[in-house]
Structure 1
Amino acid sequence: MVELNAALFAEIFTVQAVAAYIAIGIVAGFLAGLLGVGGGSVLVPALVWAFKLAALSGQWNFRLALGTSMATILFTSVSSVRSHHLHGAVRWDVVKNFIPGILLGTLFGTFLARHVSTTFLIVFFALFMGLASFQMFFEYKPKPGRVLPGRNGQMGVATFIGTASSLVAVGGGALTVPFLVWCNVSIKNAIGTASAMGFPIALGGTIGFIFNGWTAPGLPTGSLGFVYTPALLFTVVASVLLAPWGAQAAHILPAPLLRKVFAAVVFGIAVNMMRGVF
């Protein structure tokens, strides 16, 4: 265990890195409350950039971004869901049916993330977010008679959402919100319910990323498995403060317009990450 002396502390907590972590937390926290997406779609690429700014070099940086994003969502989701619950926008019956599948899927997804290549993870992340942004932008209207499946059906969907979400370290809203809307759940209830899904997804994902990264060689000082605690500290503080503001805005501002803007931003991030690979 490396002792965190003054010189090492100054090296880890540079002004540029701390400012970047706080800025990332502000944006991610507001988006988590606003759209129920956990903020991971912004957190992951932003943390990769911040790690370069902090001069972290190593083969694990993308996985550290995934794990740190998951751990941040663990805190952000609590702040976000509280505000949505006060507005009566959380379908707790759906949350209850989703939780077993979510936990199973996230643990499996983090196992996959440890054993597949970084290029695969980046491509999967970009394609995942590109498809999610397409769905969010065009807001396909479901058939009027379509309803949520039964308990087993919801658990199966939750397992898939948990696996995919942990692979790309998002709170699940990018899939949960479109699925619930597709089943004729109102957009505000879908966003509020998705924010509640963020906690079990982040819990299973964080445990998985810590466990699967525990013995990884060459991790930077301050890492807890694939969770980089210096980044986690500042992103959490900023995101938890901003998440309730985002949730308030979700019940005031026109959600369809905001979803389209966010979808465009997410699509741009996905395209930029694909460019970096190819």
Structure 2
Amino acid sequence: MNKNIKKIPLSHFHLIKKPTMNDFEYISEWLTDAYNNHKELKGYALYHNLNSFIHDAFVEHTVFVIRHKEKAVAFLTFSPPKDGIKITFRAVCVNPNFLRMGLATYLHKSAIKHYQKRGCLVAELWNVCRESYKLGISMGFIQKREKNKSDEVSMVKILVDTRKQNYNAKIRFVVWNDCYADTNTKPFYSWSLNFLRDKKPIIRSIDFEWTVGIIKDNKVVYSYIAKHFFDIFPIGGNYIYIDENKAKMILESIKL
């Protein structure tokens, strides 16, 4: 942060959920400095994309901005849930003169609150750098478990209370940690499909190719590859989502 700039209370900033191209033009003036002054961003491709996906976010209204004295000093781009359950945060950047004032955290929390009211259940930080990783941890995100490891790191936060693991229920939805897994082995995940008392949904990030199934009375009665299993993946990503209605549909489909 510039030593000549005093820390400004958050109440002096204004969140803009429908920024204009004037905001984009002003951001264009300081984004290069933000990139050049950042210790970690050499080679971090997100910040080279001012005139591609960052510009597109302003056109498509998938960006929140923070203004100070009518000038845009921070922004957050994202992919909204649309017909799915997940919001994915893609790039956050703050004018170098306004760092360490909580603006990045405020942008993320504001977007989460906004889309939670519209049914969003999962938030994901995509391809995070070290500073974004620290930010995610501070907001309760955890590193996403990836079957196929890569240099990209994503983080996830489930925004609602979810069903706890249960390996003893009479009828269970289960996940084996492999494609075409040996279903005689112990499942990696297991949840009761009885929603009479516990109305919490099943939400879990998994690889599309893992094997899922139903166990009744400790016997596997149905199993298949996850991506073909009764549309348990909502639109927009590899998150299993099973609520009470989906559980009924699954059990009726296999006549249990």
**Over alpha carbons, which structure has the higher Rg?**
2
If the length of structure 1 is used for normalisation, what is the TM-score?
0.28
Taking structure 2 as the reference length, the TM-score comes to: 0.30
More strand by share: 2
The higher relative CO (CA closer than 8 Å, separation ≥ 6) is in: 1
